[in-house]
Amino acid sequence: MKKLKLILILIVGLSFEIQAQELDVNLQIRPRFEYRNGYKQPLQYGQEGTSQISQRSRLGINYKQEDLIVKLSLQNTRTWGDVPTTTTSDKNGVAVFEAWAQYNFTEKWSARMGRQVLSYDNQRILGGLDWAQQGQSHDALIVSFHNETQKLDFGGAYNSDAENLVQTAYTVPNMYKTMQYAWYHNQFNENLGASFLALNTGYEYTRNPNTPESKILVDYKQTFGPYVTYKKGKLDTSFWVYGQTGKSNDHQVSAWNAAANLGYNITEAFKLDLGYEFLSGKSSNDGSTVIKSFNPLFGTNHGFNGYMDYFYVGNYTNSYGLQDAFIKLNYNVNKWQFALIPHMFLTAADVVNVPLNEKMDSYLGTEIDATFGYNFKKNITVTGGYSQMFGSKAMEFVKGGDTSHTNNWAWLMISVDPKIFSWKK
């Protein structure tokens, strides 16, 4: 460790100008065991659940010199056993999670460019997706204005899958060709805060492929809306409304999302939350070509609509939509945190068995999530949970599988996050 510190100090010290400098190096090792028995969707008849251990290993380097801030974060994600013990190469290799440089023009204005996390408000539309071992980051340029009560970010990105010589369609799954956004937040007082997000995403596709009329086009979809929080005394509330319009894959888009959450601290240790969220959808007998199903895009969707990830975590897009009514019970004592969260799910649009012309009940099922956390010691945290889905026949119709089977999920994760080096001059 002493040799590592000397090397790092030497690297930083090789500067032609003597300026104020700071360097921090952080390490994260995060293995997670999961038992999946109907996770993301009900098990098919005759299938059995499975279990595995995944791991994130992340090294973060943060450097600051006067008005310049630089961050580099490297990571490896793996499943224990995905390569032999004598392997000469890793299955996933080492990836760049973040690599950005920020310059502070003034105390209020700055610009940041490179691979970075975009995370705003409650992360419903843009989030870091920290639950996923790989996380989520974007290649983007951000210009920011921040003062004591207001924050304003303008961001943009332009993506290609390679350094091409001729025009080719950008078809990386679920990724935009181009993106622009503006986010504004005003903290009116210590109790009331409000944000507004306007996001424009352009997705590239080929019209009439493999024909003389083949043409590469970009359709633009807009997502916009406010997010409001109010906290006073024991009361903690939030609500949001987002609309989606524009076009996607040559189809018009008309969708929306709204939610409200009411929290109350019954005691210092015990908190009760009541919440409801609506994400618009499209009925199976709707013959319109308009896309009416709301898509949360790049949000941290694992944090919403149940931890078993039945909805909007890599699935359930362009669907019947969702209604989610839930209660959250939080209890914190000493180094322990406990939560119990029952959800009741219903579709937002009619579920119709078209061949039989039979309208089904909109009730999809009930999920119960139980979690715990324990701060074992500084830089070491243990978390875990158990979830069970009680699905209906409508769930079988929408998601497939066998809801009469016990569909449950359990997990245990240890996160070790030490700061291994810190230097300042």
Q: How large a percentage of the chain has pLDDT more than 70?
A: 96
- Nearest Cα to Cα of residue 101 among 90, 119, 88, 114: 114
Q: Does the pLDDT value for residue 15 go beyond 60?
A: no
pLDDT of residue 13: 53
Residue type for position 345 = F
- The average pLDDT across 367-385 equals 97
Q: Does the pLDDT value for residue 84 go beyond 80?
A: yes
Record the pTM: 0.90
pLDDT of residue 16: 42
* Cα–Cα dist 294/257, whole Å: 7
Q: What is the mean pLDDT of the chain?
A: 93
Contacts of 222 (CB under 8 A, 6+ apart): 198, 199, 200, 201, 244, 245, 246
Q: Which residue has the tokens 């010691």?
A: 377
Contacts of 88 (CB under 8 A, 6+ apart): none
Structure-model confidence comparison of residues 62 and 358, the more confident one: 62
DSSP annotation of 361 reads P
Contacts of 175 (CB under 8 A, 6+ apart): 159
Q: Does the pLDDT value for residue 123 go beyond 80?
A: yes
* Cα–Cα dist 59/95, whole Å: 11
* Cα–Cα dist 261/317, whole Å: 24
Q: Does the pLDDT value for residue 361 go beyond 90?
A: yes
pLDDT of residue 108: 97
Least confident of 119-128, 162-171, 197-206: 162-171
Tally of CB atoms within 10 A around 282: 20
pLDDT of residue 206: 87
Q: Which residue has the tokens 């890599």?
A: 314
> For the chain, what is the domain count?
1
- The average pLDDT across 377-398 equals 96
* Cα–Cα dist 278/118, whole Å: 24
- The average pLDDT across 193-208 equals 94
Contacts of 357 (CB under 8 A, 6+ apart): none
Q: How large a percentage of the chain has pLDDT more than 90?
A: 83
pLDDT of residue 136: 97
- Taking only the tens place, the pLDDT of each residue in 129-152 is 999 999 999 999 999 999 999 999
* Cα–Cα dist 156/141, whole Å: 5
* Cα–Cα dist 163/318, whole Å: 32
* Cα–Cα dist 96/217, whole Å: 30
What's 308's domain CATH number? 2.40.160.100
Q: Does the pLDDT value for residue 304 go beyond 50?
A: yes
- The average pLDDT across 182-203 equals 97
pLDDT of residue 9: 52
Contacts of 106 (CB under 8 A, 6+ apart): none
- Taking only the tens place, the pLDDT of each residue in 222-270 is 999 999 999 999 999 999 999 999 999 889 999 999 999 999 999 999 9
Q: Six-digit token pair at 20?
A: 């104020």
pLDDT of residue 198: 98
Say if residues 68 and 62 touch (Cβ distance below 8 Å). Answer: no
Q: Six-digit token pair at 57?
A: 């290993």
**Coil, strand or helix at 12:** helix
Helix (H) or strand (E) holding 409: strand 407-416
- The average pLDDT across 100-111 equals 97
pLDDT of residue 114: 98
pLDDT of residue 207: 85
* Cα–Cα dist 131/245, whole Å: 29
* Cα–Cα dist 369/343, whole Å: 8
Q: Does the pLDDT value for residue 10 go beyond 70?
A: no
pLDDT of residue 6: 52
pLDDT of residue 208: 83
- Nearest Cα to Cα of residue 385 among 340, 417, 329: 340
What confidence category does residue 421 fall into, taking pLDDT thresholds of 50, 70 and 90?
Answer: very high
Q: Which domain holds residue 88?
A: 2-424
